[in-house]
Amino acid sequence: MMLDYQKWVSSPKFWLGKLRLIAITSFSILQLGIFGCTESPINSTTSSDSPANALPNSIIPEMVEVPAGTFLMGSTDVPIAHPEYTLELPTYYIGKTEVTNAQFRPFVEGDGYTNPDYWTTPGWQWRQKNTITQPLYWDDSTWNGDEQPVVGISWYEAVAYAHWLSAQTGHEYRLPTEAEWEKAARGPNGLIWPWGDDWRDGLANIEEAGHGVTLPVGSYPDGASPYGALDMTGNVWEWLSSTYKDYPLTVENEWGESYLNQWQEDGTIVSRGCSYNCGRSGSRAAFRSSSDSNVAYNHFYELGFRLASDSPPE
């Protein structure tokens, strides 16, 4: 994977994009000096400065299909997941694993932190105010292995990465909703754990596994969900697009500009999946968590994300 990335950054397409970005940035600075303009996020999911399909396939997260149909959501055994109910979703696709450091690297080394097109309005303001240029633990060897999930990122950065990847590939990616994540983890019948209703040792990177750190994604292939998604329990908590609400949920658009831009310093965003630091009870696939008042500001070494899409990548 690293070799593919090195080939990409050495390619003419990559450096052409860089030259275009330098030219655009210089023009923006000139505008600022002449007209007194200020930066304003465009919040577009596409960018004319990024050639479609410029990334090598190994950098693009693999997706698995979750077919349309009803599924059982919630649990009578998990107090914060009451009540248990049935919900219906159309077909969608979800990341087979969490996004890795290797997959996030082109966002960092490209224009991910310098192009406001990828960011929500409050997210771009937060990035500028705090001079954010990379994930919090990006230079920490404990967390920055190529195949480890990227951690130390805010919800804003996860959203920006999805927009950036959409611009690079011409295919729209987003964060999963809470309902999508739960169906992908538990299947149509509401399994307790991704692999079934009985606990089995050695199928997830949780506290009792004893690693005390994130592992390369997909380290427990036998712990796959019914749809083939890996690490749906353990390794890292995962940012979702959903705000924390009482059950039952209804299906709604959680990727529109107005929805994404409402999250500033209040409200709660859901995270699911538990981490390497969770006990067995917290690793149940119905278990819910969220960030509190500083909704997108939390940079945890236990928090990453995976992607979703409405259609299969080409």
CATH number for region 42-309:
3.90.1580.10
What is the pLDDT confidence band of residue 94, given thresholds at 50, 70 and 90?
A: very high
pLDDT at 37: 34
Lowest mean pLDDT of 18-27, 105-114, 240-249, 257-266, name the range.
18-27
Rounded average pLDDT over 157-174: 97
Q: Has residue 140 got a pLDDT over 60? A: yes
Helix ranges (DSSP H) in the chain: 2-9, 12-35, 101-109, 121-130, 155-169, 178-186, 257-261
pLDDT at 314: 79
Q: Each residue of 273-290: pLDDT tens digit?
A: 999 999 998 889 999 987
Dihedral, CA of residue 97, residue 102, residue 108 and residue 109, to nearest 10: -150
Rounded average pLDDT over 120-134: 92
> Residue 295 corresponds to which tokens in the numbers above?
């909704």
Summarize the chain as % helix, strand, coil (round to 5): 30, 15, 55
Helix (H, G, I), strand (E, B) or coil at 196: strand
pLDDT at 11: 52
Q: Each residue of 20-70: pLDDT tens digit?
A: 433 333 333 333 333 333 333 334 444 434 444 578 888 999 999 999 999
49 CB burial (10 A radius; 0-12, 13-18, 19+): middle
> Residue 278 corresponds to which tokens in the numbers above?
């969770």
> Who has greater pLDDT, 262 or 212?
212
What is the pLDDT confidence band of residue 81, given thresholds at 50, 70 and 90?
A: confident
What is the pLDDT confidence band of residue 19, given thresholds at 50, 70 and 90?
A: very low
Rounded average pLDDT over 258-281: 84
Q: Has residue 18 got a pLDDT over 60? A: no
| The residue to which tokens 């709660």 are assigned | 268
Nearest to 121 by CA among 292, 256, 264, 293: 264
Mean pLDDT of all residues belonging to the chain: 83
Q: Each residue of 205-253: pLDDT tens digit?
A: 999 999 999 999 999 999 999 999 999 999 999 999 998 888 999 999 9
pLDDT at 265: 58
Rounded average pLDDT over 296-311: 85
pLDDT at 1: 47
pLDDT at 53: 55
